[in-house]
Structure 1
Amino acid sequence: MAGIALPLLGIVASLVVGMDRDGASPTVAAPPSSSTTSPDSVDPASSEEPEPTPTTSADGTGAPPLDPPDSPLPSGSGGSASKVDLAPPQGHGPARESSWGLVPAPCTNYEQQLIDLDTGLSRVEKEDNGRIEEPGGAELHYWPDSCTGGGDYRLRGVPNTRVGLLRADDPHTAEQCRKVSNTGLPPLNLNDSETTEQAGFVIGAAICSVTTEGAVVMATIDHINEGGFAGENTASGTLYVWPKAS
């Protein structure tokens, strides 16, 4: 029994000495850091996926690419090169839609073309130095001013008719067309691109008229085809006719 008591006394003495040294108490492990959270205490908002990074545009601004703006149809697309508002003007009925065009004969035929914009139909009569024998309700006159091998023909409004040119950037409405029909259409050489562009005779523009039958007409210029060497440029497009209400 004495042998067992001696070791126990030694252990107790060691504990007492350890507690009294420097007056310190036994070291206790620090509690877990407050940054450590249990799965049950996670904020649900923090688990949401981050917002996607905006797409960078080609110019490096960081803005997403914009949809391209509406633009006119290209030449040869089969439709009008400009958007046309088909709403009828006051005193007129819904628009009728057809086609129109200028296709001259060789100047040596000595023919002139007369175009009725009420229907888009043309007829031919013998050329007489630009004089018209019988207008017959036509609004456009296409005749050979010379016969030198190219650019011989001229286009104009028939005298004593209401014909004008609607520019490509003007609103393509019947009411606007009626307004510009009072401005006139002087002789144009379609082979002279500089002159015709200055006048506004380009793809996307339109010839406008209040016809002899009282209709408001818009003949859009959808195609201008070069005649090539010793040839004549031609033009064609869509014809919108708002007939006068009966």
Structure 2
Amino acid sequence: MAGIALPLLGIVASLVVGMDRDDASPTVAAPPSSSSASSDSVDPASSEEPEPTATTPASDDKSEAPPLDPPDSPLPSGSGGSASKVDLAPPQGHGPARESSWGLVPAPCTNYEQQLIDLDTGLSRVEKEDNGRIEEPGGAELHYWPDSCTGGGDYRLRGVPNTRVGLLRADDPHTAEQCRKVSNTGLPPLNLNDSETTEQAGFVIGAAICSVTTEGAVAMATIDHINEGGFAGENTASGTLYVWPKVS
């Protein structure tokens, strides 16, 4: 009996050991987290640097760039607008600017006429010439009369006596306040056909005649055009008239 028991015990022991091994399943590693998967399980193809495409960098590609606008150009003096930029801000005690036109167009000297221009309105009137004397100023600020009658360069332009008229140079600020200041400088007789004298005086395209008018307004008559050898052989001038009326 003892000999039979010993083999049976060996068989039972073997069965127990085998059961223990079946129950102890092999350890399986937990699946990696998303972060570890991205770092540890990287597709070799995705880790390679992308090959550069054969395209021109955007900074050098000018085919799609819109064309640049041409630079602003100054207004030509003969284009019909003011040749100088005018600041329309009214000076103290004056209202917004009124805008109109002015001009000098003399008659033949044999008509013995003189032209008087009111810078409050830009309107001119004619009266008989009397050796430069004015019979009735009538609120005018400019006087254009024939000083001689030789067939050219006969007329002279000046400020009417006892008025405040001056010349604003082309490179001066074109403001009402600056215009008021230069109106105290006077406008002596000018022969518009004598270009050397008028240029020295500052009577050129881009300049302006300024006045504090008989009605207390500040007037700026810009010189936008000078036509040489115009009507009756005389140089003529014209432009835009800005008037800042006095506020009562």
What range describes the TM-score normalised by the shorter chain of this pair?
Answer: 0.7 to 0.9
Q: Which residue of 2 aligns with 1:112?
A: 114
Q: Is the 2:108–2:232 Cα contact (8 Å) retained in structure 1?
A: no
Q: Computing the radius of gyration over CA atoms, which structure comes out larger, 1 or 2?
A: 2
Unaligned runs of 5+ in 1: none
SS at match of 2:37: coil
Unaligned runs of 5+ in 2: none
Q: Tell me the TM-score normalized by structure 1.
A: 0.72
**CA distance change for structure 1 residues 53 and 24 in 2, over 3 Å: closer, same or farther?**
same
Q: Is the 2:165–2:183 Cα contact (8 Å) retained in structure 1?
A: yes
Give me the whole-angstrom Cα distance separating, in 2, the residues matched to 1:42 and 1:170: 75
In the alignment, structure 1 residue 20 sits paired with structure 2 residue 20: yes
Give me the whole-angstrom Cα distance separating, in 1, the residues matched to 2:143 and 2:45: 76
1:38-57 superposed Cα distances (whole Å, 9 cap, x missing partner): 99999999999999999999
Give me the whole-angstrom Cα distance separating, in 2, the residues matched to 1:234 and 1:73: 20
Give the stretch that moved more between structures: 210-219 or 47-56.
Answer: 47-56
Give me the whole-angstrom Cα distance separating, in 1, the residues matched to 2:195 and 2:54: 46
**CA distance change for structure 1 residues 22 and 234 in 2, over 3 Å: closer, same or farther?**
farther
Q: Tell me the TM-score normalized by structure 2.
A: 0.72
Q: Which residue of 2 aligns with 1:55?
A: 55
Give the stretch that moved more between structures: 25-34 or 57-66.
Answer: 25-34
SS at match of 2:158: strand
**CA distance change for structure 1 residues 241 and 8 in 2, over 3 Å: closer, same or farther?**
farther
Shift of 1:19: 53
Give me the whole-angstrom Cα distance separating, in 1, the residues matched to 2:3 and 2:194: 132
1:185-223 superposed Cα distances (whole Å, 9 cap, x missing partner): 000000000000000000000000000000000000000
**CA distance change for structure 1 residues 104 and 68 in 2, over 3 Å: closer, same or farther?**
same
1:74-129 superposed Cα distances (whole Å, 9 cap, x missing partner): 12211100000000000000000000000000000000000000000000000000
Q: Is the 2:113–2:146 Cα contact (8 Å) retained in structure 1?
A: yes
Give me the whole-angstrom Cα distance separating, in 1, the residues matched to 2:228 and 2:17: 115
**CA distance change for structure 1 residues 186 and 3 in 2, over 3 Å: closer, same or farther?**
farther
Shift of 1:174: 0.2
**CA distance change for structure 1 residues 131 and 49 in 2, over 3 Å: closer, same or farther?**
farther
Q: Which residue of 2 aligns with 1:138?
A: 140
**CA distance change for structure 1 residues 41 and 57 in 2, over 3 Å: closer, same or farther?**
closer
SS at match of 1:35: helix
Give me the whole-angstrom Cα distance separating, in 2, the residues matched to 1:204 and 1:33: 81
Give me the whole-angstrom Cα distance separating, in 1, the residues matched to 2:100 and 2:200: 28
Give me the whole-angstrom Cα distance separating, in 1, the residues matched to 2:3 and 2:235: 131
**CA distance change for structure 1 residues 137 and 82 in 2, over 3 Å: closer, same or farther?**
same
**CA distance change for structure 1 residues 149 and 15 in 2, over 3 Å: closer, same or farther?**
farther
Give the stretch that moved more between structures: 223-232 or 44-53.
Answer: 44-53
Give me the whole-angstrom Cα distance separating, in 2, the residues matched to 1:118 and 1:107: 27
Give me the whole-angstrom Cα distance separating, in 1, the residues matched to 2:71 and 2:107: 41
Give me the whole-angstrom Cα distance separating, in 1, the residues matched to 2:120 and 2:29: 102
**CA distance change for structure 1 residues 34 and 99 in 2, over 3 Å: closer, same or farther?**
same
